[in-house]
């Protein structure tokens, strides 16, 4: 079954407004994604993030899996937490050590759609999420990164092009492939300029209580690369923005 077909697990990206029929949390008041309005953000001083050394190596092996809703990337090999490669971070205003769970990409049918979060109503052609968990508290923290289309081959992020080249071949649900990635090169940030708020998973069950860190710097990717995902994997993979309600969005810099 191709990802371009509808899945039978009660949800799809065709009509996210219906998710709450099977997943009540989707009706919550702290849902993600959101539109970030800069003049309503609050400045907050955060300590720096400290990443384990394996974030900056080219030798960590990952497994890409077509889940039917996205191409998720997890650590290859053992699922035993004690034996996994150490990919973790501390700092950034979060309590405890957060361990890498997966990363994945959201995109739209064309360059006018694709990101889940927006900044001042601006929509980006794609958005990457890096999911981490504090094993002691089971708290989830997600890093989000935006993409911009740049058709100069020399400007394209080579690690993301590698992801797309592998993901493009996983045309059937449950297809997998292994590949090495350098997480630091995928994330392309110094970790000092970001937005922070409390939200939810952006896919069912849409569980709330997730700490979001949104990095506004843009990662360059060629349009032909995104077209490979649109044409061969899934046409669109994003949830529209949700009401912010009474939540506060913090920023890590002064006005």
106 has pLDDT over 90: yes
- Position 8 scores a pLDDT of 47
Residue 2 lies in a domain: no
What is the pLDDT, as a whole number, of residue 77?
Answer: 79
CA distance 51 to 98: 10
Write down the pLDDT at residue 250. Answer: 98
Tell me the average pLDDT across 93-108. Answer: 96
pLDDT of residue 191: 81
Helices within the chain (DSSP H only): 158-167, 183-187, 223-232
Distance, CA of 95 to CA of 98 (rounded, Å): 9
CATH number of domain containing 79: 3.10.200.10
pLDDT tens for residues 1-36? 233 334 447 799 999 999 999 999 999 999 999 999
**Helix-helix angle 223-232:158-167, to 10 degrees:** 20
pTM flag (> 0.75): yes
**Does residue 7 sit within a domain?**
no
Would you state the pLDDT for residue 78? 55
Give the phi and the psi of residue 115 in degrees, each rounded to 5.
-75, 155
Q: Give the range of the structural domain holding residue 186, as residue numbers without chain letter.
A: 16-251
- Above 80 in pLDDT, residue 118? yes
How does pLDDT run across 176-223, given as a tens digit for each residue? 999 999 999 999 888 889 999 999 999 999 999 999 999 999 999 999
CA-CA distance, 33 to 75, in Å (whole number)? Answer: 26
Give pLDDT tens digits for 32-89: 999 999 999 999 999 999 999 999 999 899 999 999 999 999 999 755 565 567 899 9
Could you give the number of structural domains in the chain? 1
In a domain, 1, yes or no: no
> 154 in a domain, yes or no?
yes
* Domain membership flag for residue 8: no
Q: What is the mean pLDDT of the chain?
A: 92
65 lies in some domain: yes
Per-residue pLDDT for 227 more than 90? yes
Instruction: Give the DSSP letter of residue 125.
Output: S
Query: 4 in a domain, yes or no?
Result: no
In a domain, 54, yes or no: yes
pLDDT computed for residue 80 by the predictor: 54
Per-residue pLDDT at 82: 56
């Amino acid at each position: 079954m191709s990802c371009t077909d509808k899945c039978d697990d009660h949800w799809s990206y065709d009509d996210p407004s219906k998710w709450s029929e099977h997943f009540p949390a989707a009706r919550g008041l702290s849902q993600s994604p959101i539109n970030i309005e800069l003049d309503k953000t609050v400045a907050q001083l955060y300590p720096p993030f400290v990443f384990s050394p394996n974030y900056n190596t080219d030798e960590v092996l990952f497994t890409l899996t077509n889940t039917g809703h996205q191409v998720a990337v997890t650590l290859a090999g053992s699922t035993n937490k004690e034996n996994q490669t150490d990919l973790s971070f501390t700092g950034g205003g979060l309590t405890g050590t957060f361990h890498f769970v997966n990363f994945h990409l959201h995109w739209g049918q064309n360059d006018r759609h694709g990101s889940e979060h927006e900044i001042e109503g601006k929509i980006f052609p794609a958005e990457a999420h890096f999911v981490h968990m504090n094993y002691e508290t089971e708290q989830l923290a997600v890093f989000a990164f935006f993409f911009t289309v740049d058709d100069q081959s020399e400007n394209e992020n080579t690690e993301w092009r590698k992801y797309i080249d592998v993901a493009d071949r996983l045309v059937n649900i449950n297809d997998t492939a292994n590949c090495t990635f350098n997480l630091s090169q995928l994330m392309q940030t110094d970790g000092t300029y970001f937005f922070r708020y409390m939200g939810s998973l952006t896919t069912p069950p849409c569980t709330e209580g997730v700490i979001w860190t949104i990095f506004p710097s843009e990662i360059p990717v060629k349009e032909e690369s995104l077209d490979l995902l649109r044409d061969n994997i899934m046409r669109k993979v994003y949830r529209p923005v949700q009401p912010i309600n009474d939540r506060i969005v913090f920023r890590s810099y002064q006005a």
